[in-house]
Amino acid sequence: MQALRAPAAAPAAAAPSTSGRRAALPRARTTQTPRTQVLARAAAQQQQEGSKTVLVKTSGDQPGVEGMPFPWSEKDPYKLPVSIERVQRLLLGHGWDKPWVDQIVDRIMKGTLKTTEERATGVVDYLASVGLKQDEICNMASVSVVLLGLNPQTRLAPMVSYLERRGVPKGVVPELLLEHPRIFEYRVTDESAAAVSKGAARIQVDVVPAAALKAAAAASSGKKGAAAAALAAASDGDAPAIAVNYYREGAAFLESPVSPAPPMPTK
């Protein structure tokens, strides 16, 4: 008899291949922390200034990263650039109050004030030569945003000359500048003009003798007489009164209830 054969065993199931699965999986991406991203972006914007390297952080598009308002370096995140730090040291060295200096530094950082150490030195030295004290110059710079960025030769000196041509005594010029620090923001476009200009805005400085003021106050009525009487009262005895008139080109004086008193007529 023929011996029975045992049925052949089923072939063992082949182990699943992982090569295809590995190929199908996406490649793992390396994640960077926000600080790593900031450092990577800032490293591409290194700027050599003097002997220090200043890194400027780009504010913006990294999720979870707060924008910092100040340039920063690797050692100190809030260290000022060298040029602005020099302006800060200059003003503090003149005895200016730190809160006002910080305000000026903030203006430079935001771009509303463009100045350098040399320009700020020129402005401070010129105003001091006119007769202003350091605390007074500090007050003026806190009111006028662009004062420390103006050219002393082309903007400050012509304005002082304009005041003197209008009859303001030299000893009174510092006091007038202190009371009207934004007058330097206007330009002397014509040396023979009675007013200085800033776009359509005008400033006209008038020096009125005390006798003329009293005569005008007595002869005039309404707004014009009240304005002359006010100037006469503000004057020191027989000393002339100085009027600083702010107006816009084409203004109609004394024709509407809210219109100001006019400047002195020009010859």
Q: Find out whether 122 and 109 touch, Cβ atoms under 8 Å.
A: no
Cα(168)–Cα(241) distance, integer angstroms: 9
> Given its phi and psi angles, is residue 110 left (phi above 0), alpha (psi -120 to 50 degrees) or beta?
alpha
Taking phi over 0 as left and psi of -120 to 50 as alpha, with beta for the rest, 250 belongs to left
Task: Report the alpha-carbon distance of residue 85 to residue 72 in Å, rounded.
Answer: 12
205: exposed, middle or buried (C-beta count within 10 Å: 0-12, 13-18, 19+)? buried
Tens of pLDDT along the chain (267 residues) come to: 455 555 555 555 555 555 555 555 555 555 556 555 555 555 544 444 444 444 444 444 444 444 444 443 444 445 778 899 999 999 999 999 999 999 999 999 999 999 999 999 999 999 999 999 999 999 999 999 999 999 999 999 999 999 999 999 999 999 999 999 999 999 999 888 899 999 989 999 988 776 665 555 555 555 555 555 555 555 555 667 888 888 888 776 655 555 555 666 655
The whole-model pTM stands at: 0.61
> Given its phi and psi angles, is residue 27 left (phi above 0), alpha (psi -120 to 50 degrees) or beta?
beta
Residue recorded with tokens 């030195």: 121
Written as six digits, the tokens of 16 are 């699943």
If you ran DSSP here, which 8-state letter would residue 149 be given?
A: G
> What residues does each domain of the chain span?
80-185, 191-267
Note the pLDDT of residue 63: 46
Note the pLDDT of residue 124.
97
Note the pLDDT of residue 96: 95
Q: Which residues contact 98 (CB under 8 A, 6 or more apart)?
A: 92
CB 110 within 8 A of CB 102: no
Residue 250: its pLDDT value, please?
77
* Rounded distance between C-alpha atoms, residue 230 and residue 249, angstroms: 24
CA distance 113 to 247: 25
46: left (phi over 0), alpha (psi -120 to 50) or beta: beta
- Per-residue model confidence (pLDDT) at position 227: 58
Amino acid in position 145 = V
- Cα separation, 184 vs 182, in Å, equals 5
Residue 89 phi, psi (nearest 5): -65, -40
pLDDT given for residue 191 in this prediction:
87
**pLDDT given at position 50:** 46
Record the tokens describing residue 152, joined without a space: 């002393």
